[in-house]
Amino acid sequence: MLLTIRSLSKSFPGTRALDAVDFDLAAGEVHALLGENGAGKSTLIKCLTGAYSRDAGEIRLDGAPVSPASTSEAQELGIGTVYQEVNLLPNLTVAQNLTFGREPRRFGLIDGRAQADMAREMLRGYGLDIDVTRDLGSYSVAVQQVVAIARAVALSGKVLILDEPTASLDAAEVRMLFDVVRDLRDRGLGIVFVSHFLDQVFELCDRLTVLRNGQKITTERVADLDRVKLIGHMLGRELDDAIETAEHSPAAAQEAPEILRFEGIGRAGVVAPFDLSVRRGEVIGLAGLLGSGRTESAELLFGVRTAQTGTARDADGPVAHATPREAVRAGFGFAPEDRKTDGIVADLSVRENIILAMQARRGWTRPIPRAEQARLADEYIAKLDIRTSDAEKPIGELSGGNQQKVVLARWLAMNPRFLILDEPTRGIDVGAHAEILRLIRDMTDAGMSMLVISSEFDELVAAADRIVVLRDRRHTRELTGAEVATDEIVRAIAAADPREAAAS
Amino acid sequence: MTVNPRLYPLLATIGIFVVAYIVCWLQFPYMLSTRVAGNLLTDNAYLGIVAVGMTLVILSGGIDLSVGSVIAFSGVFIAVMLRDTGLHPLLVFALLLAVTTAFGAAMGAVIHGLAMPAFIVTLAGMFLARGASYMLTIESVPIAHPFYDLLKDAYWLMPGKGRLTLIGVLMLVAVAAGALIAHRTRFGAQVFAIGGGEQTARLMGVRVGATTVGIYAFSGFMAGLSGIVFSIYTGSGYPLATVGTELTAIAAVVIGGTLLTGGAGYVVGTLFGVLTMGLIQTYIVFDGTLSSWWTKIVIGVLLLLFILLQRGLLRVTALRA
């Protein structure tokens, strides 16, 4: 084995990020490292590259124990890393980036010609035909990625860690990158491949290791494994013992009138064009693995990102939703996933956070009277049972569940017809969890339509009338009626292509 | 043959200078003489030298507001030392350069060590240096030393009776040295790297602390050298001199095509930035009817033009990537 890791552990205050993890990497293999958010992938990689120091365990490279204290030390030992965000300098030329720190010199001065030759030599065998004297930033991300790999290989040359290298590449670029990776594998490097794209893992990798909650679940040969089993490992759920689902009364929602219809909404490299029809008073669930395009779909609907294609219309005609402002005017609401950075203004009071969107819609020339603000705040604090000493408390001092309720209150005050909730229960304790689900029910009973994104499939099954399943940035399947069940979701995610999913 | 897009801002700078010179020449044919050219170099020598140091600072994404005060301090320091001690001017120069370089290095160390914005640290440096020159004297001190007369009168008579003075040559040497350091040494590569992104630069193995100290030390050295040249040019030391020169230098750097946010630019562009600004001044002198404030207005317009150009170029590259 080129690299062996034995019972590696790493804790952070409050969490055990890695719990006695074993990992083996052979020379000449591509080894996928998989797991959902918080599984411990990035902690493991950071321990390998010296960004973190481990608490316990052993790392052996070529049989000798190593403990890199910094990225550059790891590099010297032979462990190179390439990240999704290219860690090179776009303002320097390709040649400067490749030779940085090892520039050929003559009479103490950098020899530009020799530098370019050296760079061309390093890029040989990667199938790139580029002018190395141009700025790195003038080339596509894929080319930059390959340049980063070339630098990492030249500097390290034993272990290459690719951390989500394909996240911002299109299909042709992914193929080019894979050719490069296969070639490096054949040259005897050990390659660790981290990706959310299961198709790519099956296409490229020889073995895979699944982490979940900081523990190693399994290491298997990719050829011996099917998708359903793999996803079962990642989610910690076997299909057989899938939890039976709550009773549904889908009939009512199915017959409700359609209030919004999105057709062909999409953006290249973000989400493939999709259709979505929204009925009055229904909850649509969006399910998929991390990176499948769930949040991106919501952002396209709400205008956070502008859709390149597609139209939206309601009973009265076309609906503009190219910017959040237009979307709000059209009666949409959006409670984003990352509450802390996108949802709340931590230093403002509960009252100010609640009236934020409403004031934005009225425009700053028509302030909401203070008494009205207070009335609204008190009303929603009571209605949603927000636990706060009073409406003037800064929202940052509230617990996560209560912050989430304030964000909900903000949109409820607007009385939107279509509310998008991205991971509404993340980071919220169990009690608040149930309350949020109950609130969702109450609001839809009152006629509001919702789109709920969640990685908790049980929660989706409990809340949603319909579930749209995404995979690899594509809406692949819609589950209705009796199909709204956890094992159906898993099966739909695992299916290799949509037709197969429909047939199963 | 295609031109590397890296060169666009530099070519724009040189293009503007050439066009401006042609416009001047069409109106005043005498502008195209070695006399005017020689004076252009001599009159802007101190600005050119200090702008070379500023170029490196801006390339690294920083800024050095202290240089104008350091130039004034240098003049006063030299004048007072020559008046009160019997030291030879060359020894005084060496002392001065050691002081200003150390001053710059100290500012660099504070910027890196305390992770403070360069703007605020060098603003403090600006007040410190200006205050220090007032400590030495509050009035203009003339420099009377035979060696100084020698330096002042050192020139080479170009064909056409133009004078290529020592300080003009010194500026060209400073530009050449700055260009070599910025573009042909590992130190220079690290300066560009920090300007491109400090975090990434660190990951690529740049010793950010040492480089930052080096950058501001270099700027301090150049400011000291500029002070020497300014004292030769004016023949005196005055604590109120060169107020706002740091801003003129920044303007020259930006008009010279260097990206104000760092990471892209050429030292030789700065030379053309300085010369363009000098040319505008010369034109106004030739014209005789225009107020000298027109210089400032034209410089303002040029600055705006270059900021727009850089935005445009950034957008074009972003679209293509």
Together in a domain, A222 and A297: no
Q: Are residues A306 and A287 in the same domain?
A: yes
Does residue A120 belong to any structural domain of this protein? Answer: no
Q: By the 8 A CB rule, do A274 and A309 touch?
A: no
B238–A contact, CB cutoff 8 A: no
CA-based nearest distance A237→chain B, Å: 39
- Taking an 8 Å cut-off on Cβ atoms, the answer to whether B192 and A109 are in contact is no
The answer to whether residue A134 neighbours chain B at the CB level (below 8 Å) is: yes
**Using DSSP, how many helices (H) and how many strands (E) does chain B show?**
14, 4
For residues A410 and A421, membership in a common domain is answered with: no
Q: How far is B110 from chain A (nearest CA, A)?
A: 25
- Whether residues A220 and A255 share a domain: the answer is no
H or E element that contains B39: helix B34-43
Domain count, chain A: 3
Residues with Cβ < 8 Å from A222, sequence gap 6 or more? A32, A201, A202, A205, A206, A207, A208
Q: Which amino acid, A433? A: H
Query: Which among A70, A138, A143 is the top mutation candidate for probing chain B, defined by the most B β-carbons within 10 Å of its own β-carbon?
Result: A138
- State pLDDT tens for residues B138-174: 999 999 889 998 998 888 888 888 889 999 999 999 9
Residue A486 lies in a domain: yes
CB contact under 8 A, A140 and B321: yes
Q: How do residues B288-320 score in pLDDT, each as one tens digit?
A: 888 878 888 888 888 888 778 777 776 766 555
Report CB contact under 8 Å: B200, A93. Answer: no
Quick check: A87 and B203 CB within 8 A?
A: yes
- Give the separation between CA A364 and CA A360, rounded to whole angstroms: 7
Count helices and strands in chain A by DSSP H and E runs: 18, 22
Whether A199 and A219 map to the same domain: the answer is yes
Q: Collect all residues of chain A within an 8 Å Cβ-Cβ radius of residue B264.
A: 91
Of A87, A105, A135, the CB nearest to B6: A135
Q: What share of chain A is helix, strand, coil (3-state, %, to 5)?
A: 40, 25, 35
Q: Compare all CA atoms of chain B with the CA of A94 and give the residue at the minimum distance.
A: B6
Identify the helix (H) or strand (E) that includes residue A7: strand A3-12
With contacts defined as CB-CB under 8 Å, which chain B residues touch A112?
Answer: 184
What pLDDT is stored for residue A501 in this prediction?
A: 43
Q: What is the CATH number of domain B5-320?
A: 1.10.3470
Dihedral sign, CA of A54, A56, A62, A64?
positive
Do A152 and A260 share a structural domain? Answer: no
Do A62 and A190 sit in the same domain of this protein? yes
CB–CB contacts below 8 A, A to B? 68
Query: Given CB atoms, is A103 within the 8 Å cutoff of chain B?
Result: yes
Q: Which residues of A touch B192 (CB under 8 A)?
A: 89, 91-92, 96
For chain A, say whether B204 makes contact (Cβ under 8 Å).
Answer: yes
- Domain definitions of chain B by residue range: 5-320
**What is the residue range of A388's domain?**
346-415
What's the pLDDT tens digit per position in A210-249? 988 888 888 989 888 887 788 888 877 654 444 444 444 5
B205 with A101: Cβ contact below 8 A: yes
B289: which 2 tokens?
């009817």
In 3-state terms, what secondary structure has residue A348?
coil
Q: For residue A103, which residues of chain B lie inside 8 Å, CB to CB?
A: 186, 189
Strand A64-65 to A56-61 pairing: antiparallel
In this structure, the answer to whether residues A141 and A71 fall within a common structural domain is yes
**In this complex, do A96 and B192 lie within 8 Å of one another by their Cβ atoms?**
yes
- Interchain contact B209–A (C-beta under 8 A): no
In angstroms, the separation between the Cα of residue B221 and the nearest Cα of chain A is 21
Rounded to whole angstroms, the Cα distance separating A248 from A282 reads: 12
Tell whether A104 is covered by a domain.
Answer: no
Is this prediction's ipTM beyond 0.90?
Answer: no
Minimum Cα–Cα distance from B207: chain A residue: A101
Residue A225 counted as domain residue: yes
Model confidence, pTM: 0.75
Closest of A232, A238, A239, A182 to residue A210, by C-alpha: A232
Binary contact (A103, B189; C-beta < 8 A): yes
Write the DSSP assignment of A111-132 as a string of letters: -HHHHHHHHHHHHTTTT----T
Contact in structure between A185 and A159 (CB atoms under 8 Å): no
CA distance A171 to chain B (A): 16
Amino acid B192: pLDDT: 95
> What would the two tokens of residue B283 be?
């034109």
**How high is the mean pLDDT of chain B?**
91
Comparing B120 with A272, the larger pLDDT belongs to: B120
Name the residue among A425, A445, A455 with its Cα closest to residue A286. Answer: A455
Low-confidence ranges of chain A (pLDDT < 50): 239-248, 250-251, 498-504
* Subunit contact B204:A110, Cβ cutoff 8 A: no
> Are residue A484 and residue A495 in the same domain, yes or no?
yes
- The span from the CA of B143 to the CA of B230, in Å, is 12
Q: Which residues are paired to A162 by β-bridges?
A: A82, A193
Q: Smallest Cβ distance to B204: which of A100, A112, A138?
A: A100
Give the per-residue pLDDT at B69: 97
- Per-residue pLDDT, A431: 65
Task: Give yes or no: residues A426 and A374 share one domain.
Answer: no
Q: Do A91 and B192 touch (CB under 8 A)?
A: yes
Which residue carries 């900021």 as its tokens? B307
B262 → chain A, closest CA residue: A91
Same domain, yes or no: A304 and A368: no
Are the C-beta atoms of A402 and A388 separated by less than 8 Å?
yes
Q: How far is CA A146 from the centre of its chain?
A: 23
Gap from A104 CA to chain B (nearest CA, Å) = 10
Subunit contact B317:A135, Cβ cutoff 8 A: yes
Question: B201 CB near a chain A CB, below 8 Å?
Answer: yes
Q: What single string gives the DSSP state of each residue in A257-313?
A: PEEEEEEEEEETTTEEEEEEEEETT-EEEEE--TTSSHHHHHHHHHTSS--SEEEEE
- The angle subtended at Cα B221 by Cα B199 and Cα B190, nearest 5°, is 25
Q: How far, in Å, CA of B36 to CA of B26, rounded?
A: 15
Distance CA A165, CA B126 (A): 47
CA torsion A115-A120-A122-A127 (nearest 10°) is 160
The minimum CA-CA distance between B96 and chain A, rounded to whole Å, is 28
- Whether the CB of B193 is below 8 Å from some CB of chain A: the reply is yes
A122 in a structural domain: no
Between CA B108 and CA B210 the distance in angstroms is 9
CATH number of the domain encompassing residue A215: 3.40.50.300
Asked if B193 lies within 8 A of A92 by C-beta distance, the reply is yes
Q: Which residues contact A366 (CB under 8 A, 6 or more apart)?
A: none
Query: Which residue of B lies nearest to A51 if distances are taken between CA atoms?
Result: B203
Give the Cα separation of B253 and B245 in Å (integer).
12
- Cβ atoms B261, B310 nearer than 8 A: no
Residue A340 lies in a domain: no
Closest approach of B197 to chain A, Cα-based (Å)? 7
| Chain B residues with CB-CB distance to A74 below 8 A | none
Using CB atoms within 10 Å of the CB of residue B176, give its burial: 0 to 12 exposed, 13 to 18 middle, 19+ buried.
middle
Query: 89-128 in B: which are within 8 Å (CB) of A?
Result: none
Residue A91 with chain B: CB contacts under 8 Å: 192, 195-196, 259, 263-264
Same domain for A306 and A224?
no
A443 in Cβ contact with A282 (< 8 Å): no
- A119 inside domain: no
- Which of A384, A415, A446 lies at the terminal end of a domain, its last residue? A415
Mean pLDDT for B5-18 is: 87
The C-alpha angle A125, A127, A133, rounded to 5 degrees, equals 95
Interface touch B189/A139, C-beta < 8 Å: no
Q: For residue A206, what are its two tokens?
A: 């020889």
- For residue A74, the chain B residue with the least C-alpha distance is B203
